[in-house]
């Protein structure tokens, strides 16, 4: 044998991405990816099984950490010198780029997991040189250890940075636990090269659920759409992408102007001077990327976005300088030393020049990006900008509130907030819910539900419709609050509005009689339906509250409407994505494992919960059974397509149609991983195991939003 054939590792396992080994994904690229349901496995987590980050955070000396962070702001390091001797603007950018990936469509992204430590985010072009900001924070992370997560530290650093430069903040909450592997569930776009754009159709309609305009950007291209310096076209992109971060026009202007009140952009020379990103850098660079061969490679020679210069004449001070300069001057389009489009004021006064970031004795011109010019050229943004210019206090307050929202949008309800800087004010985007009642007679409520004329299917389906709106990505939705009885949920097609209203009418009467919230009755009713069908007890935790319509942002909740719910075999229309992929996506948003998803689909089908009755393979929909699995795996049935999402099961001997199913149903027999789970539940001795697993998964969904029990 030669030396290569004696290699002890590479022929036994696939340890890199060079193509030495051909993976299942390479062989069968169209196979659905079940891995998203068991990502972040406990085996990747270095903390002990007993570790509870929220408990650890409660032990943190918060004020000592803030003092250390504040000291760090002006503790410039030779290996990465601070612009103007102050790291504040750098940390604001770190925080913004950690939180700014949040998107409303699926609640994914945001700063809640510390995922900026991992690819792809740690190597996005838009995150250039933030690897240095994370290393500047390392001594503090090392000092405070498990009492502060990277996720919380990334967010807190930006708050302290603003305060250290005289800015106003609205508050801060900790409690964000770290993840330990890159997230596999976030679709960042179809492009296969950085800064490509293949995500628009028609009149610049951005692909759902994406928020950014190009691959590798957090939100918009500062030079303009696809690098074209058109302020009005830029305004279109800004409005679209910021709305997908849950921001309105006022919040958008405040964040843009407030963020650009501080610091500078870096484009001292051409991008060709910059080496590979952290994930592509050589091993000796120790996780650092973007090695810069221009000059000394740092300070005044730094290259990040390619745009060069500060926005204001006082880049480390909160003031109204951004608007002062924006409206004082006419601006001309120029190119930076790196060749990027930017805007300079025409004939600026000396007092409106800024100190050079590395040499305070040198003065340089301020700049605006095309995205900044949109704040002046777009009529709506212009009106808001002028209001902020004339009312600095309103600007400061709007920025503080929008910044707080940006940093906390993915944290869920206020009941999850932790630390000494939690704001007292309730905000509508926090989805407030009044405190629930736990002191009523559960038995009286149960008796009333049992005595009603509601069927098992009505009880179960209403509970599922209410609770399954929950998504763990931003901890929105769920049964708590009973928003299913409010706009917009009460009229969602998937919720069968006429049936839903009938059930709610019954629950409203019972609520008045017992003191139980309708939210509790919805879940209790579903549990009762399962108890009737299974003969097994289903645990119930009271205490949910009922939200009011005025506590519910109708537009914001609109994005929670299921376009598909495979658990109910519901598909609003045909999509480019297959129904089974949409089932996986919903299961992942619910925080379910593959076995939990499998048990729930099989159990709901056995109870007749399915649009068009597809996948209902039982003769008794009032019996929770494993009939779905036994029929699905029955070799006497042959399946044939009758439509894009419709199949008929034919008896192999007679050729007679005996079953009907969807793609969601058949995937549990077709996909090898899901079939392996289905086979467990289809065995003759598995009915009790199946019922136990179904009830466990059911309770998980019903209680996923019970954050009031978390502390």
| Residues that are catalytic | 97
d(CA 186, CA 264): 30
120 upstream amide cis, omega within 30 of 0: yes
For every residue of 207-263, DSSP letters joined together read PTT--SSSTT-SS--TTSGGG---HHHHHHHHHHHHHTTT--HHHHHHHHHHHTTS-
Query: Reading across the β-sheet that carries 637-643, which strands appear in turn?
Result: 637-643, 646-651, 657-661
d(CA 76, CA 87): 7
Number of other CB atoms surrounding residue 553 within 10 Å = 15
Nearest Cα residue to 704 out of 585, 625, 609, 588: 588
Q: Which residues pair with 200 in a beta bridge?
A: 206
CB 269 within 8 A of CB 296: no
d(CA 529, CA 624): 10
Number of other CB atoms surrounding residue 388 within 10 Å = 24
DSSP reduced 3-state for 345: strand
The CA-based angle 218-354-327, given to 5 degrees, is: 70
**CA quadruple 517, 522, 523, 524: dihedral, nearest 10:** 80
Q: Which residue has the tokens 């009492």?
A: 147
Number of other CB atoms surrounding residue 678 within 10 Å = 24
Number of other CB atoms surrounding residue 61 within 10 Å = 12
Q: Which two tokens stand for residue 239?
A: 């409005």
- Find the farthest-apart pair of alpha carbons in the chain and give their distance in angstroms, rounded: 93
Three-class HEC string of 413-457: CHHHCECCCCCCCCCHHHCCCCCCCCCCCHHHHHHHHHHCCCCHH
Length of the chain: 711
Alpha helices by DSSP H, listed for 114-230, are 130-144, 150-164
The 8-class DSSP code of residue 301 comes to G
Q: Is 364 left (phi over 0), alpha (psi -120 to 50) or beta?
A: beta
CB 169 within 8 A of CB 66: no
d(CA 128, CA 290): 7
CB 211 within 8 A of CB 103: yes
CB 273 within 8 A of CB 264: no
d(CA 582, CA 577): 7
**CA quadruple 144, 148, 153, 157: dihedral, nearest 10:** -60
Backbone torsions φ then ψ of 571, nearest 5 degrees: -140, 115
CB 105 within 8 A of CB 244: yes
The 8-class DSSP code of residue 54 comes to H
Backbone torsions φ then ψ of 334, nearest 5 degrees: -135, 180
């Amino acid at each position: 044998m030669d030396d290569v054939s004696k290699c002890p590792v590479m022929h036994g396992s696939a340890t890199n991405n060079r193509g030495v080994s051909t993976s299942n994904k390479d062989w069968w690229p169209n196979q659905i990816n079940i891995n998203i349901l068991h990502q972040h496995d406990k085996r990747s987590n270095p903390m002990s099984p007993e570790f509870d980050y929220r408990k650890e955070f409660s032990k943190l000396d918060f004020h000592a950490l803030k003092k250390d962070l504040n000291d760090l702001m002006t503790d410039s390091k030779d290996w990465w010198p601070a612009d103007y001797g102050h790291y504040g603007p750098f940390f604001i950018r770190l925080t913004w780029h950690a939180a700014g990936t949040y998107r409303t469509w699926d609640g994914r992204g945001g700063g809640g997991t510390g995922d900026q430590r991992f690819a792809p985010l740690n190597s996005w072009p838009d995150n250039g040189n933030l690897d240095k900001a994370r290393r500047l924070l390392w001594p503090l992370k090392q000092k405070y250890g498990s009492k502060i997560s990277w996720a919380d530290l990334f967010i807190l650093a930006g708050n302290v940075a603003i305060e250290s430069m005289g800015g106003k903040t609205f508050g801060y909450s900790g409690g964000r636990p770290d993840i330990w592997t890159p997230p596999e569930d976030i679709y960042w776009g179809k492009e296969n090269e950085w800064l490509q754009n293949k995500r628009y159709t028609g009149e610049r309609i951005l692909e759902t659920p994406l928020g950014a305009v190009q691959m590798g950007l957090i939100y918009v291209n500062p030079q303009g759409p696809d690098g074209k310096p058109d302020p009005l076209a830029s305004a279109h992109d800004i409005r679209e992408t910021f709305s997908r971060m849950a921001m309105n026009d006022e919040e958008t202007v405040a964040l843009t102007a407030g963020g650009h009140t501080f610091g500078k952009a870096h484009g001292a020379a051409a991008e060709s001077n910059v080496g590979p990103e952290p994930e592509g850098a050589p091993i000796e660079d120790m996780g650092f990327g973007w090695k810069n061969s221009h000059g000394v490679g740092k300070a005044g020679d730094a290259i990040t976005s390619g745009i060069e210069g500060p926005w204001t004449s006082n880049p480390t001070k909160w003031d109204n300088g951004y608007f002062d300069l924006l409206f004082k001057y006419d601006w001309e389009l120029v190119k930076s030393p790196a060749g990027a489009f930017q805007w300079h004021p025409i004939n600026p006064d000396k007092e409106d020049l800024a100190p050079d970031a590395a040499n305070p004795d040198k003065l340089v011109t301020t700049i605006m990006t095309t995205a900044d010019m949109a704040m002046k050229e777009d009529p709506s943004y212009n009106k808001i900008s002028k209001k902020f210019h004339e009312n600095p206090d309103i600007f400061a307050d709007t920025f503080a509130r929008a910044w707080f929202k940006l940093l906390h949008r993915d944290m869920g309800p206020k009941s999850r907030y932790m630390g000494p800087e939690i704001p007292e004010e309730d905000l509508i985007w926090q989805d407030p819910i009044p405190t629930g009642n736990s002191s009523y007679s559960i038995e009286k409520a149960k008796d009333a539900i049992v005595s009603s004329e509601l069927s098992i299917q009505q009880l179960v389906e209403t509970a599922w419709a209410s609770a399954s709106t929950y998504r763990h990505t931003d901890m929105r939705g769920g049964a708590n609050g009973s928003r299913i009885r409010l706009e917009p949920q009460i009229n969602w097609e998937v919720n069968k509005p006429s049936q839903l209203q009938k059930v709610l009418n019954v629950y409203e009467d019972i609520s008045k009689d017992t003191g139980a919230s309708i939210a509790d009755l919805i879940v209790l009713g579903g549990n009762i339906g399962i108890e009737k069908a299974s003969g097994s007890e289903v645990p119930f935790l009271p205490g949910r509250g009922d939200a009011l319509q005025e506590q519910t942002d109708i537009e914001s909740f609109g994005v929670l409407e299921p376009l598909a719910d495979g658990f109910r075999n519901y598909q609003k229309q045909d999509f480019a994505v297959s129904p089974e992929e949409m089932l996986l996506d919903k299961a992942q948003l619910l925080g379910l494992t593959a076995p939990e998803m499998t048990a729930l689909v099989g159990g709901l089908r056995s109870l007749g919960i399915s649009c068009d009755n597809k996948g209902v393979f039982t003769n008794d929909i009032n019996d929770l059974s494993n009939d779905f699995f036994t029929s699905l795996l029955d070799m006497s049935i042959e399946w044939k397509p009758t439509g894009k999402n419709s199949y008929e099961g034919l008896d192999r001997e007679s050729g007679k149609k005996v079953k009907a199913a969807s793609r969601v149903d058949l995937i549990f027999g077709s996909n090898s991983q899901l079939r392996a789970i289905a086979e467990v539940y289809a065995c003759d001795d598995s009915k009790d195991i199946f019922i136990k697993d179904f009830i466990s998964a059911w309770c998980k969904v019903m209680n996923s939003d019970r954050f009031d029990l978390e502390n």
